[in-house]
Homo-oligomer: A and B are copies of this chain.
């Protein structure tokens, strides 16, 4: 079954390659920017780059939109698809219904992973959450998702949004905490790598004992003097950091008090 990919960002890039390798021939890759589309196409067996959204002559059956959520509204408006197309997006937080104006058969294929072009992804371990407007589409999406992942689940738009928000905390915000830590150290010529055993131990413990049993530190102990010392310290670097420190610490204090 042939597939067209609309988008050439991190998700589009990895999904196109995974599907192509799994025997779903990716025929077209769309990006407004021809160079971006071509960069993906070069990794595929028999795809062509496309900079317009008129797919009326396409022989693909499945069309996957993997653009930023901000760009999706515009893409959905301009898209012209063949009659029997199944149109799918990959967003964690958009409802499936956003696609209704562009196609009769619609669905969602949400891969729960963080993607960077420069790093390979083992899709077999990536949970995939699917949703479809009808049984036929659901079967087709289920087969496609199972071709690349061992962990495929049917899910509602609401639960998918909850998973996306949880993923933002667990991945994007976790990474930003590491970024802040690196900044604090590097401004003093100290090496971020010294935190590696601490970070590895924390995450390992959190995934085995659970995050509540793993929580330590001044906020967990209700050690208000240290919280004050740290906020004073951070104000010297960046007021916004002191505010982030304050709201997270307050939440920890409230969660574990008593």
Contacts and interface: CB of A to CB of B under 8 A. Distances in A.
Interface of A: 10, 68-70, 93, 112-116, 118-119, 121, 125-127, 151, 159, 161-182, 184-185, 188, 190, 192, 194-203, 205-207, 209-226, 229-230, 233-234, 240-241, 243-245, 247-248, 250-252, 254-255
Contacts of A223: 68-70
A166 B179 contact: no
- Secondary structure call for the A interface: helix
Q: Which 4 pairs from chain A and chain B are nearest by CB?
A: A172-B217, A179-B211, A170-B181, A166-B181
B163 A185 contact: yes
14 contacts: A69-B223, A70-B224, A112-B194, A112-B198, A114-B201, A116-B209, A165-B230, A166-B185, A170-B198, A178-B206, A179-B211, A182-B211, A199-B203, A241-B251
A188 B207 CA distance: 19
Nearest to A72: B225
Contacts of A212: 179, 182
A219 B181 contact: no
Contacts of A215: 172, 175-176, 179
A180 B217 CA distance: 16
Contacts of A151: 194
A168 B218 contact: yes
